[in-house]
Amino acid sequence: MELTREEESALKGEQGEIMEMAYRILVATGEATDAEKLIPIEWTHLSGVNYNTIGDAGEEFLSSISKDARVKVKTTLNPMGFDIDNVSNYGLDENFISKQLSIRNSYETMGVIPSFSCIPYEIFDIPKVGTQVAFAESNAAIHANSYDNLKTNKESAFSALASALTGKSPYSSLRKEDSPNVSIRMNVDNPNELTYGMLGYFAGKVGDISVNISGLGEMDNRQCKAMCGGMGTSGTCAKFIFGEDDSDSEKIDFDEKAMQNVHDELNTSEKGDIITLGSPQLGLEEISELAGKLKGRSFEKRCMIFTPRTIKEKAQKIGYTNELERAGCEILSDCCTCLTPLINKNDVDAVTTNSIKGAFYLKNSNGVDVNLKSLSRIIEDETR
Amino acid sequence: MKVLVSGKVEGVVLKSKNAINFLGTVDKKTGIISDKNHDLYQKSIKDTILAFPSGVGSSVGAYTIYSIKSNNTAPLAMICMKADLTVATGCALANIPLVILSDEEFSSINDGMKLSLDTDSVNPIQYQ
């Protein structure tokens, strides 16, 4: 990768340790993705916020760099481990809370917007077509490339941080025009958001950098998000290209059998003790729709709902949160199902969710069983 | 062969046929793989030369690599077939040597093999 004289100087450490580290990460990223140069980016979205995921090493690292490091471009932030408004209801220990607040403080000191959301594409204005960004949250990177006409690598937590500190990112293949080497034909009738989540998970396993998908009908926002969340969980792929593919690329069917395989891999229980909705976090449209579906009904089990703080505030004003709480929902902002420390196997055997991404991490990281159901099935089976 | 993070180490290869999602499937304190569907389930990656096709999944996996290095449960080096940003940047920050091999070179590396890796050498991989 070619560097400018100024970039070379930073890599040699002539602009301080922070810049040296940032450029070392950018160079490794660039070499890994065959980029020929670095280019300016306008927005970064960072992962690596939840103390549950980054641990003491991450907390100490951020605390140390935040003494000097400052972001150079608009930088937003993934969810953390809890909602400070109701954290006392969930039995987290004091160490967790204080370490999480230290992480929050380090990011704020560096100049990061404390959005604590995995759906930046729903809570911030989308810049003009073709804008180069650097999104670390996998579902957000895929959404940005596939639906929002933005361009990003599927950044790692560190490459996005390096981009925030330098305002640059390697000019890798996802930032250019590319042609996917695999084309998936959607061949399942009457799909719901769970189907699309499984399709995304399947696509992430067979695709490489981007994947073509044909045979899709009209999709709603929930289904688009589910597909991005699924793909981000299983692979390195970071872009859907929609439409018929006439090229010679490999064609693979996503049919009932392929879907059943994904289902069997992730669904380990026939029922759950609690329900979680939101990974990715729910947007206002989904909250509104849920409030509508719950009119006159109540959950018979605990139901945790994850949404960004800005959405929760809007939902409060409109009256949705009252309606949801009446139906027995616990509404949590700033955090998400994925990698939540609020669910653990000492208290919970199995979780019912419609999120493929949530299912993967609940199963593998939280060690609980998962019962996969679409939202309409959840409402049918679990409320009255 | 492509060098993403340089270095010099000697060790025994732990080889996996499956990609690794570092976030959530690698125990930070022990380096043990916790994913029941993974071919390295219940094995520790600590102090191995870890050969696997590529990293996959959540971008926060880079912090897991940094954490296992800080906890002394990290591999000595990593060898992949496909470069991915989570592994590349995690190794860059944690200073764990990382090389990318062609499919053919990768298939000539076997589980349990002793090898030395020196990314500055003309023949970076020497079998022992």
Q: What are the structural domains, with CATH classification, of chain B?
A: 2-127 (3.50.30.10)
Exposed e or buried b for every residue in A236-268, given b needs 16+ CB within 10 A?
A: bbbbbbeeebeeeeeebebeeebbeebbeebbb
Among A24, A181, A236, A361, the residue to mutate for chain B (most B Cβ within 10 A): A236
A154: pLDDT confidence band, cut at 50, 70 and 90? confident
The answer to whether residue B91 neighbours chain A at the CB level (below 8 Å) is yes
CATH 3.30.499.10 range(s) for chain A read 5-175, 267-382
Please state, in angstroms and rounded to a whole number, the distance separating the CA atoms of residues B71 and B74.
8
Determine which of A260-264, A267-271, A311-315, B34-38 has the lowest per-residue pLDDT on average.
B34-38
- The set of residues, in sequence order, having a beta carbon less than 8 Å from that of A129 and lying 6+ positions away, is A149
Catalytic: which of B16, B44, B54, B58? B58
CB contact under 8 A, A157 and B5: no
Inter-residue contact B86 to B61 (CB < 8 Å) = yes
Minimal CA–CA distance to B97: which of B81, B79, B82, B77?
B77
Mean pLDDT of A338-367: 95
Closest CA to A151 of A137, A172, A165, A167: A172
Contacts of B55 in chain A (CB under 8 A): 236
**Which DSSP helix (H) or strand (E) runs through A342?**
none
Does the annotation count B58 as an active-site position?
yes
Say if residue A152's pLDDT is above 80: yes
How does pLDDT run along chain B (128 residues), one tens digit per residue?
998 988 999 999 999 999 999 988 899 899 999 999 999 999 999 999 999 999 987 778 888 999 999 899 999 999 999 988 889 999 999 889 999 999 999 999 999 999 999 998 999 999 88
- A106 Cβ partners below 8 Å, 6+ apart? A59, A62, A63, A65, A66
3-state class (DSSP) for residue B11: strand
Number of other residues whose CB lies within 10 A of the CB of residue A13: 13
Q: Is residue A288 predicted with pLDDT exceeding 90?
A: yes
ipTM above 0.90, yes or no: no
Q: Are A185 and A251 in contact (CB under 8 A)?
A: yes
Domain boundaries A267-382, corresponding CATH code: 3.30.499.10
How sure is the predictor about A367, in pLDDT bands with cuts at 50, 70 and 90? very high
Helices and strands (H and E) in chain B: how many: 4, 7
The predicted model scores a pTM of 0.90
Answer whether A183's CB lies under 8 Å from A245's CB: yes
Q: Is the pLDDT of residue A69 over 80?
A: yes
- Cα gap A353→A343, rounded to integer Å: 13
Whole-number Å distance between alpha carbons of B20 and B10: 22
* Distance from C-alpha of A97 to C-alpha of A79, rounded to nearest angstrom: 14
Question: Residue A249: which pLDDT band, with cuts at 50, 70 and 90?
Answer: confident
Q: Which residues in chain A have Cβ-Cβ distances shorter than 8 Å to B24?
A: 53, 339, 360-361, 364-365
Query: How many helices (H) and strands (E) would you count in chain A?
Result: 15, 14
A104-146, pLDDT tens digit by residue? 999 999 999 999 999 999 999 999 999 999 999 999 999 999 9
| Closest chain B C-alpha to A52 CA, distance in angstroms | 10
- Respond yes or no on whether the N-terminal peptide bond of residue A280 is cis (omega within 30° of 0): yes
The predicted-structure confidence for A48-67, as pLDDT tens digits, reads as follows 999 998 988 899 999 999 99
pLDDT (tens digit per residue) in A76-114: 999 999 999 999 999 999 999 999 999 999 999 999 999
Q: Is A117 on the interface with B (CB under 8 A)?
A: no
| Nearest CB to A28 within list B28, B37, B88 | B88
| Alpha-carbon gap, residue B104 to A146, rounded angstroms | 33
Q: What is the pLDDT of residue A235?
A: 83
> How many CA atoms within 13 Å lie on the side-chain side of A26?
31
Residue A111 burial by Cβ neighbours in a 10 Å radius (0-12, 13-18, 19+): middle
Burial of A102 (0-12, 13-18, 19+ CB in 10 A): middle
Sign of CA dihedral A112, A113, A115, A121: negative
How many whole angstroms from its chain centre is CA A99?
22
CATH of A5-175, one of 3.30.499.10, 3.30.470.10, 3.40.30.10, 3.40.50.10610: 3.30.499.10
CA separation, residue A200 to residues A50, A195, A258, A345 (Å): 24, 9, 12, 27
* Ramachandran assignment for A18, one of left (phi > 0), alpha (psi -120 to 50 degrees), beta (any other): alpha
Nearest to B100 by CA among B13, B5, B12, B33: B5
CB contact under 8 A, B28 and A55: yes
The pLDDT of residue B83: 87
Burial class (CB in 10 A: 0-12, 13-18, 19+), A15: middle
